[in-house]
């Protein structure tokens, strides 16, 4: 296994070729520093990657059967959180104790979610902030959603992940307090994802004055739970989160929004459900988030 500062080519398996995985595979393949392949349900001839500087067509090997897979230096798990168990056959073939498994999923429980399938690999939780949109099965687009694109812990594994993406458009930030930044990411998702999915509108809907009280109520519960869970949040965290949401382009969608448009299941339990579950652990009532969770689960059941 190479250290974060070494430059030899690594084998990189991207499990899940949706909006997040498609962008990750696209930027790594375009940089040409590593041997990148994807693991997906259907093959594609080429991958077209779009970003603000243009677009490029890339040759990307795609495996469609876990039996075809061999151990990789890096595995990027880019499926939805609820699909982790379904990705287990891939992980059992790709991962060894020498592998680094980057979990690029929503939520706050990356380690617990991936550990049963990791085969002893080093798990690297990743908070993804870039806005990826899957325009077609073989076409993805990267949109900027802030001043950085992903956050990892400032440790050996996190620094190795940042090194993997050197020379690509993705800006990886290291954090010394991953618990706090993970909850901060969840606060943004707790507002943006349910509201865009329920209204079927992009993030411009969050600027409606009649939704501001709802946003504050959602965040009030989530902040209380986050602090009980060990996050070190600011006294004005609610206002800061709403200001952050206001800085995002109104044309951006969310993962739940795109999933509902496509008729896919929503990540209700990994996002809103994580707040409700943590509230139960700490004895903190979360009625607003509980109501949102019930509505999101009803959409999934339908």
Looking at the fold, whether 163 and 37 belong to one and the same domain comes out as yes
Looking at the fold, whether 49 and 130 belong to one and the same domain comes out as yes
Looking at the fold, whether 42 and 151 belong to one and the same domain comes out as yes
For residue 4, tell me if it sits in a domain.
no
The per-residue pLDDT for range 256-292, each reduced to its tens digit, is 999 999 999 999 999 999 999 999 999 999 999 999 9
Boundary residue ending a domain (159, 176, 193):
176
What's the CA gap between 87 and 76, in Å, rounded?
11
pLDDT at residue number 36: 97
185 is catalytic: yes
Instruction: Give the CA radius of gyration of the chain.
Output: 19
Looking at the fold, whether 144 and 205 belong to one and the same domain comes out as no
Half-sphere exposure of 169 (CA within 13 A, CB side): 21
Its domain, for residue 219, covers 179-301
CATH code of the domain covering residue 140: 3.40.50.720
Boundary residue ending a domain (157, 176, 195):
176
Sorting pLDDT into bands at 50, 70 and 90, what band is 7? low
The per-residue pLDDT for range 214-256, each reduced to its tens digit, is 999 999 999 999 999 999 999 999 999 999 998 888 888 898 9
Boundary residue ending a domain (150, 176, 202):
176
Looking at the fold, whether 93 and 187 belong to one and the same domain comes out as no
Q: Quick check: 146 pLDDT over 80?
A: no
Looking at the fold, whether 154 and 195 belong to one and the same domain comes out as no
pLDDT at residue number 253: 87
For residue 5, tell me if it sits in a domain.
no
Greater model confidence, 53 or 191: 191
Looking at the fold, whether 163 and 277 belong to one and the same domain comes out as no
Catalogue the long-range contacts made by 25-30 (C-beta closer than 8 Å, 24 or more residues apart): 25/60, 25/76, 26/56, 26/58, 26/140, 26/142, 27/142, 27/165, 27/168, 27/169, 27/170, 28/164, 28/165, 28/168, 29/58, 29/59, 29/60, 30/56, 30/58, 30/168
Looking at the fold, whether 126 and 188 belong to one and the same domain comes out as no
Provide mean pLDDT across the span 73-89. 97
Provide mean pLDDT across the span 56-69. 96
Element (H, E) at 256: helix 255-262
**Coil, helix or strand at residue 185:** helix
Cβ atoms of 227 and 233 within 8 Å: the answer is yes
For residue 156, tell me if it sits in a domain.
yes
Q: Quick check: 2 pLDDT over 60?
A: no
Phi, psi of 149 (to 5 degrees): -115, -20
For residue 84, tell me if it sits in a domain.
yes
Sorting pLDDT into bands at 50, 70 and 90, what band is 91? very high
Q: Which of 70, 80, 141, 185 is catalytic?
A: 185
pLDDT at residue number 251: 87
Total structural domains within the chain: 2
CATH code of the domain covering residue 290: 1.10.1040.10
Looking at the fold, whether 160 and 194 belong to one and the same domain comes out as no
For residue 128, tell me if it sits in a domain.
yes
123 alpha-carbon distance from chain centroid: 15
Looking at the fold, whether 197 and 153 belong to one and the same domain comes out as no
For residue 3, tell me if it sits in a domain.
no
Q: Quick check: 1 pLDDT over 60?
A: no
Looking at the fold, whether 151 and 197 belong to one and the same domain comes out as no
The per-residue pLDDT for range 172-210, each reduced to its tens digit, is 999 999 999 999 999 999 999 999 999 999 999 999 999
For residue 195, tell me if it sits in a domain.
yes
Looking at the fold, whether 220 and 248 belong to one and the same domain comes out as yes
Strand order in the sheet with 100-103: 62-63, 35-39, 11-15, 74-77, 100-103, 122-125
Provide mean pLDDT across the span 297-301. 96
The per-residue pLDDT for range 112-138, each reduced to its tens digit, is 999 999 999 999 999 998 888 888 999
Cβ atoms of 23 and 49 within 8 Å: the answer is yes
């Amino acid at each position: 296994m190479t250290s974060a500062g070494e430059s030899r080519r690594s084998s990189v398996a991207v499990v899940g070729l949706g909006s997040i995985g498609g962008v990750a595979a696209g930027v790594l393949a375009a940089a040409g520093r590593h041997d990148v392949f994807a693991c997906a349900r259907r093959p594609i001839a080429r991958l077209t990657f779009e970003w603000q500087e243009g677009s490029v067509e890339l040759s990307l090997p795609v495996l469609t059967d876990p039996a075809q897979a061999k151990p990789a230096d890096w595995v990027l798990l880019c499926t939805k959180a609820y699909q982790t168990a379904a990705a287990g056959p891939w992980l059992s073939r790709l991962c060894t104790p020498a592998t680094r498994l980057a979990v690029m999923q929503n939520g706050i429980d990356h380690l617990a979610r991936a550990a049963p399938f990791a085969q002893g690999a080093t798990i690297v939780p990743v908070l993804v902030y870039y806005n990826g949109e899957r325009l077609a099965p073989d076409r993805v687009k990267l949109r900027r959603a802030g001043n950085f694109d992903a956050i990892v812990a400032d440790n050996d594994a996190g620094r190795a992940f940042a090194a993997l993406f050197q020379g690509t458009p993705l800006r990886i930030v290291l954090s010394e307090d991953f618990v706090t930044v993970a909850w901060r990411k969840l606060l943004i998702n707790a507002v943006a994802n349910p509201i865009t999915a329920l209204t079927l509108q992009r993030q411009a809907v969050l600027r409606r004055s009649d939704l501001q009280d709802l946003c504050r109520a959602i965040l009030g519960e989530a902040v209380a739970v986050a602090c009980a869970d060990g996050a070190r949040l600011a006294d004005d965290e609610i206002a800061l989160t709403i200001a952050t949401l206001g800085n995002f382009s109104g044309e951006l969608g969310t993962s739940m929004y795109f999933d509902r448009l496509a008729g896919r299941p929503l990540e209700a339990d990994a996002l809103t459900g994580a707040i409700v579950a943590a509230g139960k652990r700490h004895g903190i009532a979360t009625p607003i988030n509980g109501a949102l969770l019930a509505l999101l689960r009803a959409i999934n059941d339908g």
